[in-house]
Structure 1
Amino acid sequence: MNPTIEQRIQRLEDLEAIKTLQYAYGQLVDKGWDGKEMITDGLEEVFTEDASWESKAQNISVQGIQQISDLFKMMDARSDLFIHSFSNPIIDLQGDKATAKWMLISPMTLGGGELQNMLASYNNDYVRTPEGWRIKALRLNPAYMPKG
């Protein structure tokens, strides 16, 4: 059976909401130009309360909004510039849940050092909540990590 026009519109709205959510995550944790600071106290706007954030290559695995916030406070202290540039989203919607793969190019400076780029992918899980779509699990998979 073909989806109704309402179902098709809902799908498009959900896809755009998930993209906007991912971009909002990047905006919250970016820093270092024009007075831009990392906003760790806004992470509850993009993550579920019990969300996970992990990067096996970096030996990082945290659970819950407080641990995620603490992780970014540590990253904030180590970096002067941090930019998230997401591309190539492949989003699979399944009702009130979704998965997505993203590519990341992330220019950064660590400890006042030279500008470097992290190249990575994300494999994320999302869930629809009463407040809208939120990240349930974020998995960062670096292909190239800056030294420092």
Structure 2
Amino acid sequence: MTPELEQTIQRLADIEDIKQLKARYASACDDDYNPDKLAPLFAEDAIWDGSIMGHAEGREGIREFFAAASSLVPFAVHQVSNPLIEIEGDTATGQWFLWQPMVLGEQALWLSAVYEDQYVRVDGQWLYQHLKLNIRMLTPYEEGPAKTRIIEMDV
């Protein structure tokens, strides 16, 4: 096997590993924001930046944040798509689109956002270093974005 082919195979394997990381993240979020499944997906010094949805730093801070999330968001379906992943050694970046029907408190909402992720490989495993959620739309089901593109929130 040529060195170029080995590099290509490694790059594709890294991209697939990061896709699986995002899939595990979405699945854990849809499992009542399970903090015991979510926290291990993040590096020890990671940042979770959810814009108006909240902010947490460090793996344990992220665990605590998500432990409280299911009481605020009793229903969510994270549908992620359109990954753009760039690998640079043991770091990587990713952009994903998010479409998420959800309930916040007692209000049914549509959420559309873009994830801007930074990843780091630790002991051969890809983890989140920084997950940033850029909200494009957060609107009540009954209104839609024509009336209210982003609702007011007290987080």
For normalisation by structure 2, the TM-score amounts to: 0.82
Equivalence for 2:80: 86
8 Å Cα contact 1:30/1:81 also seen in 2: yes
- Percent identity (aligned): 34
Q: How many residues align?
A: 140
CA deviations on 1:87-137 (whole Å, 9 max, x unpaired) are 1111111011000111100110122333x2100001000011115100100
Equivalence for 1:129: 122
| One-letter amino acid matched to 1:109 | V
Equivalence for 2:38: 43
8 Å Cα contact 1:43/1:65 also seen in 2: no
| One-letter amino acid matched to 1:87 | S
The worse-fitting range, judged by mean Cα deviation, of 61-70 and 119-128 is 61-70
> CA separation in 2, counterparts of 1:75 and 1:24?
17
Output the aligned Cα RMSD: 1.9
Equivalence for 2:132: 139
Aligned pair 1:101/2:123, yes or no? no
> CA separation in 2, counterparts of 1:14 and 1:82?
28
Gaps of 5+ in 1: 32-36
8 Å Cα contact 2:92/2:120 also seen in 1: yes
Gaps of 5+ in 2: 140-150
> CA separation in 1, counterparts of 2:102 and 2:3?
44
The worse-fitting range, judged by mean Cα deviation, of 100-109 and 44-53 is 44-53
| One-letter amino acid matched to 1:9 | I
Equivalence for 2:60: 66
For normalisation by structure 1, the TM-score amounts to: 0.86
CA shift, 1:26, in A, is: 0.8
CA shift, 1:59, in A, is: 7.0
CA shift, 1:38, in A, is: 3.1
> CA separation in 2, counterparts of 1:7 and 1:72?
37
Equivalence for 1:75: 69
| One-letter amino acid matched to 2:28 | L
CA shift, 1:80, in A, is: 1.9
